[in-house]
Every structure is written in structure tokens, then in C-alpha cells.
Amino acid sequence: MTASTFVISITPFDANGRLDESALRAHLDRMADAGIGVYLGGGGSGEGFTLSNEESRRVLEIGVDQIGGRVQVRSMGIEPRTAQQMIDYLKMSAEVGVDAAQVYSLDPGHGHRPTAPEIEKYLEEVLSSTDLPCVVSSHMSVGYRLDPSLLHTLSQKYAHLIGVNCSHPDLAALIALRSALDERIELHVGGPAQALSALALGATGFLSSEGNLAPQTCAALIAGANANDYETATNAFDAISQLSTLLYRLGGIRATKGVLRSLGLPGGHVRPPQLDADEKSVASVLAFLDSLNFKAIENW
């Protein structure tokens, strides 16, 4: 399977917190021009937890309209409290016409974790409700890992289960999944830190927030891997990993949007309850970008 990368796209808002549709279109053009796939409306970089149902749908509509057919356009959404919430989100995603949708792990909230039978019942209900291509997420945010044997069984039963996104801080979960899943199943890791390890272990690629700022660098990592160009892949990995560490130390997507605004690129503001990063944090990221000549790499 050819290696690939996806950006968990930001959702631009104006200074008053309104969805900025023109900025979103321009931002998505940058992602498509770099040749990286896009997940929309995610709960992290996409600030999906602040979106109304109508806004969530509109973000997907804009994505399909603006870059559909150029790169993969997928929906992500947020962690659901119930199976019905995920089923409703998949129904909307299918109506809009995205290429695929992520199925987040069940998150009952208040620190509760579902039992193994409850997880299985949830995934069965969700996957049996749609024929839209689905990518199941096993994410550290919910406090548990999905059982690789369960995902193997589900992949045999549901042909439209096309992938798994694995976002855990160690490689044990990834190794277990790669051993359990057939080669037809995409396997992406969350974040660039494990990108090269994932590719070496036979995974498909990585997801990133950093692609919002440096899509060409993320694409270069994958292009180098596909061409067996070790120097290109490792140089891109070095740059994007350093950028990731710095951004998360200085506010994550808050800093990313601040840097995009400073560069005159479409990114907009964060939406409350989050607050925009301070000028010092933004300046620190800009200085780092200058030190590695990102401006030339990314054609800003």
C-alpha cells in the first residue's frame, strides 16, 4: 500500500467567532496543492467541539465542494457519547459526499470507560448503520485502546471498514494492530512523532495538525518514503517533529492559527473557550520557521 498522510484541518473563525468560509476554502486549497488528504471537523485541530450540527455539515460541504476529487476529503467529528450520535454523524457525512469518515471510540464521559462488550456493541451498531467507507479511531483521549482482535473481526465482516487511526504514545498498540489487520486496511498513526517508525513497521502513514502550517514538509516525508529517499524523508521528519514539539508547548492550534495570521495565510482565530496565543508564543514559532528556512520549503 502506498504511504500517505492526512492533515486534521483547522476550522477558521473570524475575530467574532463566526465560521470563516472563504478562509476555510483558501486553507483547503493549500492542503490540496500539497497533495495531502484532509480530515474535517475534528475535535482537536478542527475545534469540532465548538461547532453546531449545522456548522459541522457546512464545513464538510465546503470541503467536498472545494477540494473533492483533488485529494481525499474525510470527516472526523468528535468523540460520541452514544452510538446514535456517531450514526447521525455518519449519515450526515454520507449525504454530503465525503470520501470516508472516522469513527471515534465511544466516550461516555465523566471518567467512565465502556466494557469490552459495550465497545463491541457500539462499533457493530455504528458500522452496520452505513456503507460509507469508515476508519475506526483508537485514541488515547478516551483512556483505552481498541482490541486488535476485535478490529480484525470487524474488518472481515464490514468491507467498508477501510482503516484504523492509532493515536497512542507508545508503539505497542501500533505493532499489535499491524499484526492483527489485513494489508488492505490502512493504518495511520496520530502525529508525526511516530511517522518513520510506523512506516518501518508496515503502517500506511501519519496524521498531523502540523500539516495545517507546513503541508509541503509533511508531503515530503511521505514522498521520500515512497521513493526510498532516506535523506528527504528523514530531513522532513526532523523538521516536522521539531515544529510539532514547539507548537504543542506554545498552545497547539492556538499557536498554529496565530502563525498563519502573521504570515498572511488563511487560518483565522480560535473559538472560545480557547483563546488565541500571545504574541511572544507566535514570535517564537516564527523564529523557528525562519531558522529552518520553512518559507522556501512551503512557498509562503
Residues with Cβ within 8 Å of 235's Cβ and at least 6 positions away in sequence, in order, are 220, 224
pLDDT of residue 167: 95
Confidence at residue 3, expressed as pLDDT on a 0 to 100 scale: 86
Confidence band of 102 (pLDDT split at 50, 70, 90): very high
The one-character DSSP state at 45 is T
pTM for the whole thing?
A: 0.96
Give mean pLDDT, residues 66-75.
Answer: 98
Residues ≥6 apart with Cβ < 8 Å to 18: none
Residue 299: pLDDT over 80: no
Q: Do β-strands 186-190 and 100-103 pair in parallel, antiparallel, or remain unpaired?
A: unpaired
| pLDDT for position 208 | 96
Residue 300 has pLDDT above 80, yes or no: no
pLDDT tens per residue across span 30-52: 999 999 999 999 999 999 999 99
Q: Does the pLDDT at position 1 exceed 90?
A: no
| Mean per-residue pLDDT over the chain, rounded | 95
Residues 227-266: pLDDT tens digits? 999 999 999 999 999 999 999 999 999 999 999 999 999 9
- CATH of segment(s) 4-298: 3.20.20.70
Confidence of residue 165 (pLDDT cuts 50, 70, 90): very high
Question: Domain spans of the chain?
Answer: 4-298
Nearest to 48 by CA among 144, 137, 163, 146: 137
The stretch 89-108 carries a mean pLDDT of 97
